[in-house]
Structure 1
Amino acid sequence: MAFNAPVFLALPQSSLFTFPPNSDPSFIAPAPTGSNTFAPPFDIPNHVYQAVLDPKVPLTVAAVYTVTAKLLNAYNKSTGKKPWAVSKTTTFRWLVVLHNVFLAVYSAWTWWGMFGALRRSMVSPLGPSGLSGFVDSVCHLNGPGGLGNAVFYSEDANAWISHSPNVVLTSDGSPSPHDMGRIWNEGLAFYGWLFYLSKFYEVIDTLIILAKGRLGSTLQTYHHAGAMMCMWAGMRYNSAPIWMFVFFNSGIHAMMYTYYTITSFNVRVPMFIKRTLTSLQITQFIVGASYAMLHSFVNYTIPVASATQDENPAASAAAVNSSASAGVIDMIKGAYAQKSMPCVTTTGATFAVWLNVFYLAPLTYLFGSFFVQSYLRRSNAGAKAAAKAGKEAASRRLSNNVALAEKAGWEAARNVEREVYGKDNEEAIESEKSANDQVLRSRQ
């Protein structure tokens, strides 16, 4: 039966904006190993899974990281930014290479696992269930696949519920870990949890920078600490937009750390690859914040069985037995009603959504600020040159403005990247330039 119900925007309920958010529901463990073809390669004990999702874990790690980074910054300033002795050893250099290789391989593995999960659970908006089917598949993470089959937590009922009579919950009233067809059981519960833990490990990036005598920027510290909290909130509260964080961030990190590894060996990498990576890094900030925020406003309708379906049992039986059952059901008036469904149903998921939005807002603002500064500087320089060139330059003003905007955007993205990811990027560029110089010298 084709069901093309509308998707619409509406203001979220004010009751969802409550802090602290409701502690229910509790975490939902990944599908057990061997339960299906695409089950996780190994089991994570439930007590371990739950323990690291305690809010004290990311708060403590983020606090220790922030204080340590500030203290080591002060130490580097006191020594005149002199590199630590260990940073000049061969062992240190190879440890940095192994660090980059590990993050590149791990990130690629995570991206591939999430790609499979999305391919198996994300419904095409061009399919029989239309745009509602697509929205349903990305908004609600638990339950069997199919429009209207989602299992979601109702804070009014204080229980997991579904509008489908065919969905069966576990004995404790939770979504079944064996239900397949939605993002959580298809892989997000497993890969997302590990990706959350990887955010603790990524602070080694800052330690490497500090060991080389440089200073870790405040924005870099904010970036790492904020990523820990955002991943924790998304996984702890089963928030739908977190899949995008895991999928896109792991893909970009796979490429980024591969780039760092290659350039550390003075291998020449085309500049367009560097520009592409920088553009992707900035795009994920802007797109990620917009996508997350949209969840609070998106609603869609689903088909639900109505009471009138049982009032005509003969017609219902005919619908089941007929080879053209879909067409018969469509003709039974009142067999299905439409019900509006919000994309976000809990205070916890709402908290996770807006934590991500507020976390990404300063990064987006910084990009805009750098863009304006760069554009104005280049525009003023171009205006002076145009005044000297006369009327001929005026005819090229439009094309020049486009070029200025493009260059300003690239420079702004590069500046944000330098602030967020530290100055190891500059070393990669320097290594690349060194490799280019070697190639040029060999041709002379």
Structure 2
Amino acid sequence: MDFGEGLRQAIAKISRSTIIDVNTIREFSKELQKTLLMADVEVNLVAEFTKSIQEQALKSKPPPGLDPREYITNMVYEELTKLMGKTYEPQISKKRILLAGLYGSGKTTTAAKLAKYYQDRGLSAGVICCDVTRPAAYQQLETLAKQANVAFFGIKDSKDPVKIVKSGLEAMKGKGVVICDTSGRSALDANLVEELKRVSDAFAPEEKVLVVSADIGQVAGRQAREFAKAISISGVIVTKMDGSAKGGGALSAANAAHAPVMFIGTGEKISNIEPFDSEKFIGELLGVPNIEKLIEHVSAAVKEANLSEDEIDVEKLDFETFYAQLKALNKMGPLKNVFGMLGAPDVPKELVEEGESKLNKYKVIISSMTKEERQNEKLLHDPSRAERVARGSGTTEKDVRALLSDFNKMKKSFNMLKNNRGMKRFFSKLS
């Protein structure tokens, strides 16, 4: 069970109670404690959090018209937002950013992601490889920089990070944002501290950022304190937030160490980085719909898939446009994430997997159709055509008929959207 699922189950349990009394609140508090501890949140933070929830719940009652679930959810939401820290708003301005971190933190990937993030917002960006201890660091950052379409500088096989930084700054003259990827270690030792200080002096960064992996949980707090003492960090970037049950622990620990969380890494793609928004993050944990984020994801997917206006037009749907939309859906990541943004994070795993399997099968079937069949699905009512498509896609005629049936249901749903102003506005934001 992940962090968000545990929180949602605890809230659901108390909301089913007919009477919310002292015993109910205490049981709820225990459920919260268990969930937070399993997410590797520090014990003292768990104690403070649940004590505050318990005191508020016992001293107050839901306002008229507000059901217990909404009341408790709001209470937990507000306290979790305090626990995880403030929302970060990056300044889109010229700067130098020094990244530090231990082995396995995702520092090199983050350097390229961060450069792309700023370049996508109008600032030319470049990365400098000053990791002189990890053999593959140069090649990795060079490859990632090409993927991100940002400038790259490094001196292969050089063991002098200060020389690399000085030469890199010369090469990066005129760039709006320059990011320096530094060496890591398995632990913060005297040699790493000394190297970071020398690089920092030569680089003169406006921001010194620690990169930590979400899967280390509350250890993130200790790392933040140690690095802050050594090189006075500006904040933290937490990576691997998409697959770690300890993400809440890492975020809360970093905040407790007085190191603001600046960005979070949300996946493996070069675009999977976003400023930390505590309200959105907590909202997703608690199953509150995040339509704004959904629009952002859909817009990015549409752009990446190069869809034309016709292909996202709710009033025009055939297999040609449906196939293009399926490809765009793949760009948005797992269906579970999409359901989460819609406020339905607990859709049964079996249904999600079944849905993904069906969509993948449909893509294969459509790819075996002729252009005429894609533009006019009625042609597929001809048994010989259906048989040919099934044979070409390695599926069965039953699968082809199932696609036709589901597609016709979808067309009816899309027709209902034609006069829905809200949905038209939603789709208009994508083009």
Normalising by structure 2, report the TM-score: 0.29
Kindly indicate which of the two structures has a greater share of residues assigned to helix.
1
Higher relative contact order (CA 8 A, sep 6+): 1
Structure with larger Rg: 1
Normalising by structure 1, report the TM-score: 0.29
